[in-house]
A and B are shown apart, each in its own frame.
Chain A
Amino acid sequence: MTDKDTEFAQFVTERAARLRGFAYLLCGDWHRAEDVVQTALLKLYRAWGRVRTGAPDAYVRRIIATVLVDQHRLAWFRRVKVTADHSLPEEVAVDERADQRLTLTRALLRLPKRQRAAIVLRYWEDLPVEQTARVLGCSTGAVKNLTMRGLTTLRGLVTDPVLESIEG
């Protein structure tokens, strides 16, 4: 193995599981998540010489977010695929009584994808607003707006007092 390969392999060992979780939270499908993470990591391998000393984690996250927060079909798919977003509150409320953790994950997966991505990056990955904006390719103001709206929706889906106190 070359030095490049060794460094890359170490990065994969340390970060693959977390990146797979990130992709899952964006798409809600483990197989899709694994496919996207593999694609992103292979792109990272190609670019390793350029990004190894920078922020390879951010590079991979950006690829994952771009693939899963599909920009090109946004106008059309938002209208077709958003349907479940509006039918879920009752369903979630039933789950909540059984399993609080499941409720939060399912509620998160019902958010519009950019709101979901902003929430995941800000509160699960713990990224500052500026880095979240870079991953999503938008302004910091847009991130704050997405986060605020996402949290507002989450509060409607999950009636948990802790969530209600979170600032957007």
Chain B
Amino acid sequence: MTDFIRDALDRQLDAAAPPSGLTSGGLTHLGRRRVLRKRLGLTGVTAVLLAAAVTGGLALAPGTPDPGVHAATTTQADYPLPVPQPGVEYRWQPGNSDITENQATRELSAALWPLIDAVPNATPVAYDSNGQVVGAPLTASTFPSFTRRTDRIDADGVPTGYERPVYTQFHWLKFDGMIRPDVFSVSYRPKGSYEFGGASDPDNPTMPDWRHVAESCGHMEYAFRGEPGWVSDTTCAELTGPGGERIMTMGQTTVAPGGITSYSRSVMIQTPDGNLRLVQDFGPTPTVYGSDTPDIADPRPGLSLERLTELALALPAVILQ
């Protein structure tokens, strides 16, 4: 049976594959040039990073666990990112939810429900993969809880030993008058395990750089799933919160080929304990499943950046471990 799938696909690929421009000689030449360019470019950067690591007491090799990580239970432990090594590719490998309930998930879940329940003209709902609201509106007892997962960093595909806890929750939030709901998500990342602000992966600009949680602000044109013509504009602003929090608001407009426009709003907050909160509201899908014709005239997220910021600031500080 497996052979059936493999053989059928092989025959189809053989028949359909256009000539390839990939050659061993060309790739080797290009690879050699890029390595040379990277080495030259990284010489200065490496010196600065090493100096910072030594003076800041962060001289951790990739994979060396922070001794404070497991010791502290009343103060937030630090999860300093590995010092990048030249020519090494770092990539996060998100884990599955490994703890469904602990002190932090309980505190976060208990705090989030009343905040969402108090959003005017909105109802948290369950939504299935076929695009249908299912069941009754969510209540305090059916509202999804926060979960914890462990993310690790691989260097050139090999685990470094670096791990950090991430706490997340997402749900659907249907605003009055909208025929489909927004997606609302909250995540927490621990001190040291991220760089504040947005920055794109140089090789894949629609993805964040491995140290960041969001891609770059500004204008971006790109291909998605082989389909060119996608345009994304992200407007960012940096603020200071009432308790000294560092805040960045990000409003993103994405236009697909054909002109269908979608929107999202994000707020990231670095709190005084060093942790990061990321709160996001993705506007409703502008088209119904199976159609390229929008049936929502203005699919903007229901919560403004100001309201998202208030909500993010109202969430509690918790120890992430």
Contacts and interface: CB of A to CB of B under 8 A. Distances in A.
A8 to B, nearest CB: 6
Contacts of B215: 72
Chain B interface, >50% SS class: mixed
A82 B5 contact: no
Contact of B22 (A41, A83, A87): A41
Contacts of A123: 2, 5-6
Chain A interface, >50% SS class: helix
A47 B156 CA distance: 6
Contact of A9 (B9, B28, B256, B289): B28
Interface range on chain A: under 10, 10 to 19, 20 to 34, or 35 or more?
Answer: 35 or more
Contact of A86 (B12, B204, B254, B289): B289
Contacts of A124: 5-6, 9-10
A81 interface: yes
A80 interface: yes
A58 B256 CA distance: 32
Interface stretch (B68-76, B109-117, B219-227, B306-314): B219-227
Contacts of A105: 8-9, 12-13, 16
A80 B5 contact: no
Contacts of B156: 47, 50-51, 59
Which of the listed residues B2, B225, B292 has the most CB atoms from chain A within 10 Å of its own CB? B225
Interface stretch (B90-98, B133-141, B188-196, B240-248): B90-98
A142 B1 contact: no
Interface string A50-63: 11001000110010
Contact of B25 (A9, A34, A142): A9
A8 B28 contact: yes
A80 B291 CA distance: 10
Interface string A72-96: 1101110111111111000000000
Interface in B235-288: 254, 256, 260, 262, 264, 282, 285-287
Contacts of A118: none
Contact of A100 (B8, B28, B93, B94): B8
13 contacts: A17-B17, A37-B22, A41-B22, A46-B38, A47-B89, A59-B156, A72-B215, A80-B287, A81-B224, A83-B291, A84-B290, A124-B10, A163-B5
